[in-house]
Amino acid sequence: MSAPGVVSHFDAVVVGAGFAGLTMLFRLREIGLSVRVIERGSGVGGTWFWNRYPGARVDVPSMHYSLAIDPNLEQDWNWPETFSAQADLERYANHIADRFHLRSDIQFDTTLIAATYDEDRNRWWVGTDGGDTIECKYLISAAGCLSATNVPDFAGLESFGGSWYHTSRWPREGVDLTGKVVGIVGTGSTGIQAVPVLAEQVKHLYVFQRTANFSVPSKNKKMDPDFQRDWKTHYDDHRKVARLTSSGLSWPEPPTVSALEVSVEERNRVYEDAWINSSYTPLGLLRGFSDIATNLEANETCAEFVRNKIRQIVKDQQVAELLCPKDHPIGTKRICVDDGYYETFNRPNVTLVDVRGDPIAEVVPTGLRTTATQYDLDVLVFATGFDAMTGPLLAMNIVGRDGLTLRDKWNAGPVTYLGLQTVGFPNLFMITGPGSPSVLANMTTCIEQHVEWVRDAIEHMEHGGLVTMEPDAEAEDRWVHHVNEVADFTLFKQADSWYLGANIPGKPRVFMPYVGGFGNYRAKCDQVVEENYAGFSFT
């Protein structure tokens, strides 16, 4: 391949200026690399820049959901609430960018539209929508797992006379919904967070639900200053624990007792305790016993506990039954976390519409039509999720050695070694890529582990005068086999989830994240390094 008209040269191009991209830039500067970060948005924060829909909030406790890049940062920064809101998370990302003077290396409002590997020069050529070409040795995707928006292909959408928004592209200036009749499609984590807040603003809210989801109360509250002070005193210890646990949280591992080994009273006491007390994370409900993720009968005890909560909260029992998930084991889709979701259906201005029984037929100029009914709407909100994990990577049109496109290589689903690299694409690294724990553990811990691993690998190359790094096909095959083997041991594949790509029509059904636990995964990555990067080849 001949070199296109070169505009600039960097050691590394990082895609995305969310928590992963900012951390990667920080760490690559430490080893003296020149770096250009390409960011589609006009600001930093990634997920927390884009997802500014009403009610957006993280489901991991604030003290855990922070970066370890600098000991002074974690001491200086104060979180106002136990589960941080989008605005505070975006403020945190901005603080990091300013504090460490990162902005000078970030090119905003720019999308990477092509990346091609030049085998003659052992360099990547990166093209942007602004017409820039950048040559670099290392290409690192920090584009996130949930950043490629999924807007369903509803017939007639272009004819809609009102306004419509996808939750992950919510306008920065907000939307005044006072007095409006609003329809929201989607009841995943996003919809479940947005519904209670929207209900308070609008004249009437129609919630179009295709699949009911399990949700637990966040019990978000103002941060207790004494708790925060104490946590900061022991931050190092907390981080040491988080680096070893299966969840990536400073949190005790689940007990070894089965849900089926204890009495009904004891089981319900454990679930009730987790429901009421969410001091660690609302996901505690799934961790009361050892086998909720692996044994259907044990899982059902937990699922039925939540269904009974829904039946108690929602006054109209027909609505309550519709809200009770019955098609998948609890936890096999990302469990949702809410602030008053089920209670919202007791409001007179909220209507649940079952679009499983009465599917959406089309969008019409005045609203939305299901097969049986027409709903007149001023505003349509799509909380319809993402083309998860592979979507952001495939959108970059990456071409590796021998003209192999990533799209072709992953035609039957993503294949990687450790979720970090894929054969045929030298010096392409993925932060929290498919095949790593990523979305199944605390994202900040996962990001930092990957960023540090990639930084060390690059440092290893630079010190050794090495030109390329790429996995061996055999190591990649073994890892893909292992990722599947571990997923098969769980109930995860029983749900039509985005973990499996089931939410995107035509996407291969492959379980993408690594479910074997963050601690185990980290140990494997460390072992690979100790064994002189076993399974990777360098030139």
* SS3 label, residue 52: coil
Minimum distance, C-beta of residue 265 to ligand NAP, in the bound complex (Å): 32
SS3 375: strand
C-alpha pair distances (Å), 132 with each of 86, 112, 144, 208, 310: 32, 9, 23, 43, 53
Structure tokens at 238: 């907390």
Q: Which residue in 204, 238, 328, 334 binds ligand NAP (CB under 6 A)?
A: 334
Task: Restricting to residues 428-447, name those near ligand NAP by CB under 6 A.
Answer: 439
Is 190 near ligand NAP (CB under 6 A)?
A: yes
**Kind of pairing, strands 35-38 and 8-15?**
parallel
Which residues neighbour 282 within 8 Å (Cβ) at sequence distance 6 or greater? 59, 216, 217, 218, 219, 335, 337
Residue 383 beta carbon to ligand NAP: minimum distance, rounded to whole angstroms: 5
- Cα separations in angstroms, 68 against 9, 318, 452, 523: 30, 48, 11, 19
- 281 Cβ contact list (under 8 Å, min separation 6): 59, 60, 61, 64, 249, 251
We find the least distance from the C-beta atom of residue 167 to ligand NAP, in angstroms, to be 6
> Based on CB atoms, which residue is closest to ligand NAP, 385 or 414?
385
Q: Which range of residues in 14-22, 279-287, 378-386, 469-477 is near ligand NAP by CB under 6 A?
A: 378-386
Q: Using CA of residue 359, residue 391, residue 56, residue 275, what is the dihedral sign?
A: positive
Contact segment (CB under 6 A) with ligand NAP among 372-380, 381-389, 473-481, 525-533 equals: 381-389
The closest residue (CB) to ligand NAP is 188
110 contacts ligand NAP (rule: CB under 6 A)? no
Nearest to 215 by CA among 59, 437, 54: 59
Of 208 and 536, CB closest to ligand NAP: 208
Interface residue with ligand NAP among 28, 85, 355, 398 (CB under 6 A) is 355
Mode of pairing for the β-strands spanning 428-430 and 360-364: unpaired
Nearer to ligand NAP, 50 or 305 (CB): 50
Q: How far apart, in Å, do the first and last CA atoms of the chain sit?
A: 20
85: which DSSP letter?
B
Closest residue by Cα to residue 332 from 208, 513, 506: 513
Nearest to 182 by CA among 167, 165, 202: 202
Q: Is 59 in the site for ligand NAP (CB under 6 A)?
A: yes
Nearer to ligand NAP, 109 or 327 (CB): 327
Q: Does 360 bind ligand NAP (CB under 6 A)?
A: yes
Q: Does 281 bind ligand NAP (CB under 6 A)?
A: no
Stretch of residues binding ligand NAP (CB under 6 A), selected from 37-45, 302-310, 361-369, 380-388:
380-388
Q: What is the Cβ-side half-sphere exposure of residue 422, based on CA atoms within 13 angstroms?
A: 29
Nearer to ligand NAP, 40 or 267 (CB): 40
Site string for ligand NAP, 247-276 (x = CB under 6 A): ------------------------------
The amino acid present at 195, given as its one-letter code, is V
Torsion of Cα atoms, 491 then 497 then 499 then 504, to 10°: 150
The token duo for 388 is 């998860």
Question: Of 148, 29, 145, which Cα lies nearest the Cα of 430?
Answer: 145
Question: At its nearest, how many Å lie between ligand NAP and the CB of residue 483?
Answer: 18
- Report if residue 210 touches ligand NAP, rule: CB under 6 A: yes
Q: How many residues bind ligand NAP (CB under 6 A)?
A: 26
Task: Please report, as residue ranges, which positions from 484 to 503 form the binding site for ligand NAP (by CB under 6 A).
Answer: 498, 503
- Find out whether 157 and 143 touch, Cβ atoms under 8 Å: no
For position 384 contacting ligand NAP by CB under 6 A, the verdict is: yes
Of 144, 183, 188, 437, the one binding ligand NAP by CB under 6 A: 188
> Applying CB under 6 A, which part among 196-204, 273-281, 364-372, 382-390 lies near ligand NAP?
382-390
Rg over CA atoms, the chain: 23
Backbone angles phi, psi at 226, to 5 degrees: -65, -40
Residue closer to ligand NAP (CB basis): 392 or 400: 392
Interface with ligand NAP includes 340 (CB under 6 A)?
no
Which range binds ligand NAP by CB under 6 A, 52-60, 94-102, 131-139, 517-525? 52-60
Nearer to ligand NAP, 37 or 182 (CB): 182
Sites of contact with ligand NAP (CB under 6 A): 57-59, 146, 152, 185-191, 193, 210-211, 334, 337, 355, 360, 383-386, 439, 498, 503
